[in-house]
Amino acid sequence: MSIGLIALLDDIAGLAKVAAASLDDVGLQAAKAGAKAAGVVIDDAAVTPRYVVGFAAARELPIVGRIALGSLKNKLFYLLPAALLLSLFAPWAITPLLMIGGAYLCYEGSEKVFEALFPHKAHEHEAAVSEATQTAQSLENEKVSGAIKTDFILSAEIMAITLASIPVGSIWMQAVVLAVVGIGITIAVYGTVALIVKADDAGVAMAASQRPRALAPLTQAFGRGLVKGMPILLKLLSIVGTAAMIWVGGGIIVHGLEGYGFAGLGHAIHDAAVAAAHAVPALGGFVEWLVSAAGSGLFGLVLGALLIPLIHFIAVPLIKALRGTSRKTEKHTA
């Protein structure tokens, strides 16, 4: 009896060790995958605050919450199962899907540049696209919808990087790591965004505070600095977010082309980056990254600029025609 009990306890201890090792493995793989996706995570955090600009303070956190919830749905309900299914049954489809997403990011980012350079024409373009693709919605719903669509592309890239960094093994291990990374990154990104968009409100409260009395002047000065500095920070984040969309989108397509044998552009960008890094050895790593990002961004900007008229003059009229046909069909069947 005692020998059987000892054997049972030994088996339990063995299972506990295996479980602990599995948890450690999940944590380690999630940490590695999260680090590899850090660039896209930064882009996601930079892009999101611009969707909250212009709304009343009371609506800022609810909007961030809605976007965060949409981001979690993107990652856990759509992208995680899709990533696992594609890796099992159609791994060849992952790259073209990511390239389509990259093209969308290039279009979105280039549209923002177009809007900054030619505001009148940009408003005409947005009005045409809005008329063809949207029903009557509030500005908040439009902003949230746009943020979630952009997040979907960035999240897809994060999940793809994560999946690629996980060693081939159990599908359940892959699913757990993808879920851990997806949830962790969503909390980190939208927690940071929430702090950014509410920092000016905290500044107002600090500027008006009289407590503690000994530190009141310092606290008030810091609060006033926050209030004055946040619009500048949000503007900078908007610029960084737009640039990030363009260079991430361009980079996705450049790497995708390399996978299909069109490596000339990727090699040219890489060679230029390495040459620039050798020219400034003290900052070699940073310079190489900067030149690579600039090369991908320039390609993404050109691609996005080409997509704007294609959307305006081809896709939009086609959508209008399809909608018109659909409405006529509904009238006839009614």
Tell me: the pLDDT tens digits for 149-202? 878 877 887 787 777 777 666 777 778 888 888 888 888 888 888 888 788 778
Between 252 and 49, name the one with better pLDDT: 252
**Phi, psi (5° rounding) for residue 260?**
-100, 15
Between 17 and 264, name the one with better pLDDT: 264
Contact 110, 301 (CB under 8 A): yes
Q: State the DSSP string of 46-108.
A: HHGGGGTTTS-HHHHHHHHHHHHHHHHHIIIIIIHHHHHHHHHH-GGGHHHHHHHHHHHHHHH
In this predicted model, what pLDDT tens digit does every residue of 310-323 receive, in sequence order? Answer: 888 887 788 777 76
Enter the pTM of the model.
0.70
In this predicted model, what pLDDT tens digit does every residue of 108-162 receive, in sequence order? Answer: 888 888 888 877 655 555 555 555 544 434 567 777 887 888 788 778 877 877 7
**Phi, psi (5° rounding) for residue 53?**
-65, 135
CA distance 6 to 251: 58
Residue with tokens 């927690």: 191
Contact 65, 48 (CB under 8 A): no
Contact 223, 207 (CB under 8 A): yes
In this predicted model, what pLDDT tens digit does every residue of 213-266 receive, in sequence order? Answer: 777 778 888 888 888 887 788 778 778 878 888 888 898 899 889 989 899 999
Q: State the DSSP string of 224-259.
A: HHHHHHHHHHHHHHHHHHHHHHHHHHHHHHHHHHHH
List the domain boundaries for the chain. 28-242
SS3 153: helix
CA distance 3 to 193: 58
Q: What percent of the chain has pLDDT over 90?
A: 11
Q: For position 159, what pLDDT does the model report? A: 81
Residue 10 pLDDT > 70:
no
DSSP assigned state of 170 = -
Based on its alpha-carbon atoms, the radius of gyration of the chain, rounded to whole angstroms, reads 24
> Residue 45's closest CA among 203, 157, 151?
151
Q: For position 265, what pLDDT does the model report? A: 92
CA distance 39 to 274: 19
Kindly compute the dihedral angle of the four CA atoms of residues 311, 317, 323, 325, in this order, to the nearest 10 degrees. Answer: -140
Tokens for 255, please give them: 């790497």
